[in-house]
Amino acid sequence: MYYTFNTHAVWAIYKSEMARAFRNIMQNIISPVISTCLYFVVFGAASGLRLLKVDDVNYSTFIVPGLVMLTLVTQSITSASFGIYFPKFTGTIYEILSAPISPLEIVIGYVGAAASKSIMLCLIILFTSSFIVEITVSHPLIMILYLILISVTFAMLGFIIGICAQNFEQLQIIPLLVVTPLVFLGGSFYSIDTLPPFWRTMSLLNPVLYLTSGFRWSIMEISDVNPVSSVVVGFTLFSVCLTCIYLIFRTGFCLRR
């Protein structure tokens, strides 16, 4: 039996990963939605911040893309890293490595499932937020494409973390100590125009700022940076992650002995 693409294998991995998400629906879906809604309540509705306006947009509406981005990035990483790390932890990775499946197909299966889950979560959060704040999506198609690009990119990062991690603690280091601070400091809850010049310049070095700004532009047509630069940064991160994964599979790093 010769084939150039093992569709059945990709589908098996994808289905298995999606089933895992729905098996733990409380942890994987309901909990992130509730957490994000709490951010709305604290930052957008319950405090005096609701009276603020940023670029003629209510503050509570302004933070929606940032919160969605926070969920998208963290869930994409967590889901993909856990997805590939768990078979390593239980030893069932032998089955993946001995199957007639190429590295690309393995990545499509795991990253595809992680990206699907995080996009689904973000759409639920956007839908939920529409009950709390007034929000209209200006460019729905661009927004969806942006969600796909960012979720796939960070799911690949999560996949890399999952492959390299030697224990559960290492799974959490990059998401908690690197990615989450970058998201918080990347204009999720404020416009960088409000920052002093030095910190504004420093913020421009944060890649997540471009992603959040681009995503915000697709929803409400306001952005801290040029939307084109957001797309360029998105594709650059995508290429870097893809190259790392290619090198991991090519050398067998952390996988084959």
Partner 1 sequence: MPDMISITNLSKTYSSGFQALSSVNLDIRRGEVFALLGPNGAGKSTLINIICGLVDSSSGSVMVDGQDVIRKYRYTRSIIGLVPQELNTDTFETVKNTVCFSRGLFGKPSNYEYIEKILRDLSLWDKRDCLITSLSGGMKRRLLIAKALSHEPAVLFLDEPTAGVDVKLRHDMWRMVRNLRESGVTIVLTTHYIKEVEEMADRVGVINDGKLLIVEQTQVLIRKLGKKKLIFQLHYPTINIPEILSPFELCISESGMELTYSYNTPKECADIRKLLNALNDVGLTFSNLYTEQSSLEDIFLELIENGKA
Between residue 20 and residue 59, which ones bind partner 1 under the rule CB under 8 A?
Answer: 20, 23
197 forms part of the interface with partner 1 (CB under 8 A): no
Q: Please report, as residue ranges, which positions from 91 to 130 form the binding site for partner 1 (by CB under 8 A).
A: 91-92, 94-102
| Shortest Å, Cβ 86 to partner 1 | 8
Cβ at position 48, least distance to partner 1 in Å: 46
**HEC-encoded secondary structure of 70-130:** HHHHHHHHHHHHHHHHHHHHHCCHHHHHCCCCCHHHHHHHHHHHHHHHHHHHHHHHHHHHH
- Give the nearest distance from C-beta 31 to partner 1 in angstroms: 18
Name the residue with tokens 């994808």: 14
Instruction: Tell me how crowded residue 95 is: count the other CB atoms within 10 A of its CB.
Output: 10
Q: How far apart are CB 115 and partner 1 at their closest, in Å? A: 20
Please give the size of the binding site for partner 1, defined by CB under 8 A. Answer: 31
Contact predicate 112/156, CB 8 Å: no
Which CB, 197 or 257, lies closer to partner 1? 257
* Site map 213..252 versus partner 1, x via CB under 8 A: ---------------------------------------x
| 53 strand-pairing partners | 58
Contact in structure between 101 and 151 (CB atoms under 8 Å): no
- Quote the tokens at residue 141: 């198609």
Q: Is 192 in the site for partner 1 (CB under 8 A)?
A: no
Cα–Cα dist 214/208, whole Å: 10
List interacting residues with partner 1 (CB under 8 A): 1-3, 6, 8-9, 11-13, 15-16, 19-20, 23, 86-87, 90-92, 94-102, 252, 256-257
